Each structure stands twice: as structure tokens, then as C-alpha cells.
Amino acid sequence: MSPASRGTSVAVEFSRLAEAQGSRARAGRITTAHGVIETPVFMPVGTRGAVRTQTREQLAALGPTIILGNTFHLMLRPGREHFERVGGLHGWMKWPGALLTDSGGFQVFSLSRNATVSEDGVEFRSTADGRRIMLTPESSIGMQRAIGSDIMMVFDHLIDSTSPLALAEEAMHRTHRWAARSLAAREGSPNALFAIVQGACFPALRRVSADVLTTMQGFDGYAIGGLAVGETRAEREDTTELVTELLPRDKPRYLMGVGTPLDLIEGVHRGVDMFDCVLPTAWAQQGLAFTSRGRIDLVRGVHAAAEVPLDPACPCEACATYSRSYLHHLVKCKEPLGWQLLSFHNLRFYLSLMAELRAAIRDGSFASIYPRRRDELGRSDVDNPPGKVPRAKPRAATTRGAFSLVVSPQGFTSVQHVASGEVMHSVNDPDVEARRVYVDQSRAIADALAGRRDITVWDVGLGAAHNALALIRAVEAAPPSSRVRIVSFEHDLDALRLGLDHQKPFIHLRHEGPHRLLRGEAYERGGLRWELVHGDALTGMTRAPRPDVVFWDPFSAKTDTRMWTLDAFRALFALLDRPTEVITYSASTAIRSALLAAGFYVARGVPSGPKEETTIALAHPTADDLAHHAILGADWLARRARSTAKLGADIPADARDALEQVIASHPQWGRP
Ligand SMILES: [Zn+2]
């Protein structure tokens, strides 16, 4: 199908006003039939013809210049005929500003059941009344024309951003064919039409997609689609950076469905002009607020008696009139007023952030405020750091030695190191984290569970025995023919004893093994043996049988500094005499650098809770190991170069240059 040619009418005009130095951030202006949009801009989402909970007056006070409507939802209810009758959405919802509609592609793939894709379009079952509906490029554009949106989007084939190459390629080519059909279907419309660059997280596909779509004549702007659906932050940022470079400079660029305030500043820095996301109102419903004091979770009990403003720097009604304790109460009771106030506050936070960024780009200060604002926007509650506020019900003996019990805001009981305030597995269900991060990621454990080989596992930092017991349960669920030997290292057994005193929340400890270990015995059943080395781990490791897998789970570098130093990793590496996986929850640049400098190959591990990545270090890896794990590559090295904490504080200044050499010449960068 050849791209449609179009007449000379210009649906929207885009002018660039300023470009930042030392950044791709740019300020511009889009002129539409419903007003002027200063960019970069955040577009509040009005899914069903309403920005959730916000009245017309509140919207007017917030002052967005453009909002979003969702074609998919509005097509199901009230339907295309309705909009043709009332003359579009603007007048019906009393919205005087500009309107952008998505194509329905995202919802049809993410919300509808039994969607079947064909070259013609997507057939799915309506979530409103169960009827079968066919959505095609032509019917999507027809619906968007009926809505009367100022900026329409092409109908695209959305897939999960972590999809395999073949699927991503097929969906991308279909998106291109559908883009050409969307272009033909908009013929004669005064509304603008944006194309959507697809290609998942494959740079080569993104290049092809940008090339094909920018070669078609007639698009008024370009969107980056298919992100914020499963990829890591790093992949999202890298893909955004790649695509903005490929798009024409004289057309607006729109990063669809992204994201947090931190995502916004990262997108602006990479040359994005337009953003939309449901987070400000969706998170408000859950009691979460973005503030100048970090991200605040008002559900937490710590706010129950806090007679202070939500955000002292914000003049909105929620902050100027009410206290955190009242907002906490509304959220806990699920009073709609709480949702409404927090939505208003969050939308205001987003819109004023964008105004600040626009002003900074125009006055030349963006590059200097970017690093500081990026750090600030990534913070969580600075006044009441999550995980550090004991909420345990006062019961006898919730403290033992250096440890006490705490209940996390998410409701999981954990062991806290009192002196440092640090909590073991503070934010996730500890058993889920133990299984996902430490057990499920290991190739050697998978081999052992399948009966293919015998293994030895070092469990460094036994703590409350979450990791060891996650592995033991995996073995005991289906005892393999292989032998599994687990050696746990711990110098302070009070955390385990405390957990055993409170087995109600620590269900995982209802097992014979921990009791045997505390009696100084090993736990043995079939081919499984679990033993404890009590004392300093770095010393104890020298006497233990050599491992195939190491769970590296001491307290963090702040609390247990010595275990995260280059010296510790060198000592560990020197003990490893065969292919060994070292799995750890940390993904810090300094710690990964120390692992590289110690001789390990370093790979990305799965996300865990708020951590977008964990880490797997490999000693003496086989070619299969390297192919199996997500070995860090040039993209990570490039991000490392921008990091302000490349090496740990334990590295003396005069050793840093030499270590940089070691890391730069690590064989893992030379891989194809
Ligand atoms: Zn506020």
C-alpha cells in the first residue's frame, strides 16, 4: 500500500523555540485549533471523557493546555454515533483546550480478552456489553474524527516491550502498513495525525521503524510507542534516546504512556516534547503523592498523627488546607475526597514540573538543573524513609540482640538491624524475593533440580534464612536425584532466633532445618545437606567446600561495609575454582564495578520490588553461561561513564585510574 498523499492543510504547527546546551532537551510550541501548547508538555489523561475525579473548575485551575481521550473506551461507550450527533468531545465535556486521542491500539491489546489480530485489524469482545467488535485503522481514525481530537494517533499493533525479535518485527511491519492506512483514512480531516515508532527494545527495529515512518509523507508528529510495558528503566531510556535522534527535528515527539516525574525529566533530557500517563490520578487513588519531599505513601501509619502539610512547597488545596493525617484518614477510609485532593495535587506537581523544565530550557539552565532535579525526583519519602519505621505490634520479645521485628508498609514482617535501621527484605514479600532473585535465576540450581548435576551453594548472610529455605523448599517439593549442599554463613544468629520466636509471620521458618542449625547440627534429607558456618563469612569461606552458586545477601554497604568492598570480592573470586554464579540484590554501579575489577563477568538480574535490576556475577563462565545471562554491555558502560559514583568509597584515590583500566579492558566488553 502506498502512503497517501495529502493536501497543503497544516493541522498543527510546531515551532522550536530553544534547545538546551549539553542535553537534547528542547522547548517548542504547538499551535492547534484549540489553543497553543507549550512544550515539553504533560497531558493529563481523560480516559472516558473525564480526567478522573477532577471537575471542570479544577482542570481550569490546573491549566493543562491539552488532555488525552481514549478512543477504545469512548468507542465502547457512548460510541461513535453519539459523538457524531453531539459534534465531538470538546463541547460535550466542556473542555476548551486541545485534545489528543490514542488509537485504541494499546487498550485493545492490553484490556480486551480474546483479541485476534489479522491484517485487517483486531477483533475483540467488548468489555462493556460483550459484543464482538472489529477495530481497524479506518474505524479507529473514523472514531477519532468523530471525537474531534486535535491530534489523532495511527492505529498500531502493540506488543510487550520484552517480546522476542520475530514477534516484534512482525508487529512493527504491521504497524507500518496500518500507519499508511490510517494516513489514507484521515484524508480531508482538519485534525493532525501522529505516527508511532515501534520495535520493542531492539535498536535495529527502532531504526527501521523510524526510517519507514519518516519517509511516509503527511504525519504531523511522531510518537515512541511500546514502552512502559515491561522493559527496565535503562531499556526505556536507551530506546527513547535512540529514537529521538532518528526523528525529524521540526516535528513534535511524543513518548506514549510514560511515566513518573523521573521518567518525564529523563524523557525531556532525551528530546521528547509530549508525555501522558495515568499515574497522577491512578496513584492518588492508592494514596500516593509526588511531592518536593519525595514520593509519599499516605497509607502508611507514620502519617496517622502527622499534623503537617502533605507538601510544604505546594500551594494546592490538599497541601494548603489539610494535614497529612487528615489525608491519611481519607485514604484509609477510601473517601473519594482523598482521591480527588491527591489527584489535583499530583496533576499540579506534574504540570508545574513541566513548566519549570520549559523555563529552564528557555533560559539556558536545563543542563545545570537536570542532575539535581533527577536525583530529587527519584527520591521516596525523605521525612519518613520507607522500611525504617517500626510498626510491630507491641508483643513480648520482639527484640533480640541487635535485631527487632518490624512490619513493612506493605504488611510483611521483617527483621530489622536496630543500630542501622536497615530491614532485611524491607519492601517485598521476603519469600517471593528469595525465590525469584536467588533460586529461580540460577542455571546451576535449575540443573540440580532437574537432576543433571550435584551442586554446592554458599548462602552468605543467613539472616532469617529466607534464601536458604526458599532453595530447600524448591528441592523438597520434588527431590531430584542430584545432591544439593547448602553452606550458610552468619556471624550473628539472633535474627534467625528472633524469627523462630515468631513463626506466625515467618511461615517459611516452620521447618526442621533452622532448629538443627541452631543446635550446631547439619540438616540432612536425601541428597540435601544444609550446614552453618558460624562466624566471619570471609574467613569461613576459605574452609568451606567450593561453591557453584553464591547467594550474596549481607546487609547493605551502609551497614556491612566490609562485605561490599573490592577486597571482599577479590577474596571471594580467589576461592572460586569453577563456573560460579554469584547472585546479589544490589545493582549499584560501584558494586558492579568492584565485581568487574575483581575478575567477575557481570550480568543483569531480574527486577525485585522497587529495584529495577539485581545482579548476577559470574566467575569462570562457560560460553553457555554467557549466552544465558544478560551480560552487561556497552550501554551499561556508557551509563556508568555518566555515573557520579563509579567506584566505591573503599577505593583509594591513587588506585582509581588503574582500576578504571582494569574495568575498561574487561573481556566482557569484547563479546560480539
Ligand atoms: Zn499540593
CA–centroid distance, residue 293 to ligand 1 (Å): 11
CA–centroid distance, residue 315 to ligand 1 (Å): 6
- Grid coordinates representing 452? 543433571
CA–centroid distance, residue 149 to ligand 1 (Å): 30
DSSP type of residue 380: B
Query: What span, in angstroms and rounded, lies between the C-alpha atoms of 39 and 18?
Result: 10
Report cis status (omega within 30 of 0) of the bond before 40: yes
CA–centroid distance, residue 17 to ligand 1 (Å): 30
Res 337 pLDDT > 70: yes
Query: What span, in angstroms and rounded, lies between the C-alpha atoms of 179 and 127?
Result: 26
CA–centroid distance, residue 502 to ligand 1 (Å): 41
Question: What is the CB neighbour count within 10 angstroms for residue 251?
Answer: 20
| pLDDT for res 381 | 85
- Least reliable range by pLDDT among 166-170, 195-199, 412-416, 451-455: 412-416
- Grid coordinates representing 407? 512490619
Q: Parallel, antiparallel, or unpaired: how do β-strands 35-39 and 122-125 relate?
A: unpaired
| pLDDT for res 482 | 92
CA–centroid distance, residue 170 to ligand 1 (Å): 45
| pLDDT for res 112 | 64
Contact status, residue 30 vs residue 258, Cβ threshold 8 Å: no
Query: What span, in angstroms and rounded, lies between the C-alpha atoms of 285 and 338?
Result: 8
| pLDDT for res 92 | 96
Question: What is the CB neighbour count within 10 angstroms for residue 237?
Answer: 20
DSSP type of residue 498: H
DSSP type of residue 437: I
Looking at the DSSP bridge assignments, the partners of residue 584 are 552, 615
H or E segment and range at residue 233? helix 233-246
What beta strand segments (E) does 209-266 contain?
221-224, 253-255
Q: Which range among 88-92, 480-484, 635-639 has the greatest average pLDDT?
A: 88-92
| pLDDT for res 429 | 67
Res 6 pLDDT > 80: no
pLDDT band at 87 (very low <50, low <70, confident <90, very high): very high
Res 481 pLDDT > 80: yes
| pLDDT for res 389 | 43
State the average pLDDT over residues 309-338.
95
pTM over cut 0.85: no
CA–centroid distance, residue 312 to ligand 1 (Å): 8
| pLDDT for res 394 | 40
CA–centroid distance, residue 343 to ligand 1 (Å): 9
For residue 100, the Cα-to-chain-centroid distance in whole angstroms is: 25
More confident residue, 583 or 381: 583
Helix (H, G, I), strand (E, B) or coil at 7: coil
Res 652 pLDDT > 90: no
Query: What span, in angstroms and rounded, lies between the C-alpha atoms of 639 and 632?
Result: 11
User: Phi then psi for 23, rounded to 5 degrees?
Assistant: -165, 160
Q: pLDDT tens digit string along 595-605?
A: 999 999 999 99
CB neighbour list of residue 302: distance below 8 Å, 6 or more residues apart: 384, 389, 391
CA–centroid distance, residue 647 to ligand 1 (Å): 38
**Enzyme catalytic residues:** 102, 276
| pLDDT for res 426 | 52
Query: What span, in angstroms and rounded, lies between the C-alpha atoms of 220 and 435?
Result: 48
Number of separate helices (H) and strands (E) present in the chain: 26, 29
Average pLDDT, the chain: 90
Res 111 pLDDT > 80: no
Q: Which residue do the cell numbers 489525608 mark? A: 327
CA–centroid distance, residue 350 to ligand 1 (Å): 11
| pLDDT for res 126 | 81
Segments in 333-414 forming alpha helices (H): 336-362, 366-377
User: Phi then psi for 113, rounded to 5 degrees?
Assistant: -90, 155
Res 1 pLDDT > 70: no
Helices 203-215 and 233-246 sit at what angle, rounded to 10 degrees?
30
State the average pLDDT over residues 89-111.
92
Handedness of CA 17, 19, 24, 27 (dihedral sign): negative
- Grid coordinates representing 397? 520479645
| pLDDT for res 7 | 36
Q: pLDDT tens digit string along 344-402?
A: 999 999 999 999 999 999 999 999 999 899 989 988 888 888 764 444 444 436 788 78
State the average pLDDT over residues 543-567.
90
- Of 518, 299, 517, nearest to 410 (Cα)? 299
| pLDDT for res 643 | 81
- Grid coordinates representing 577? 575454582
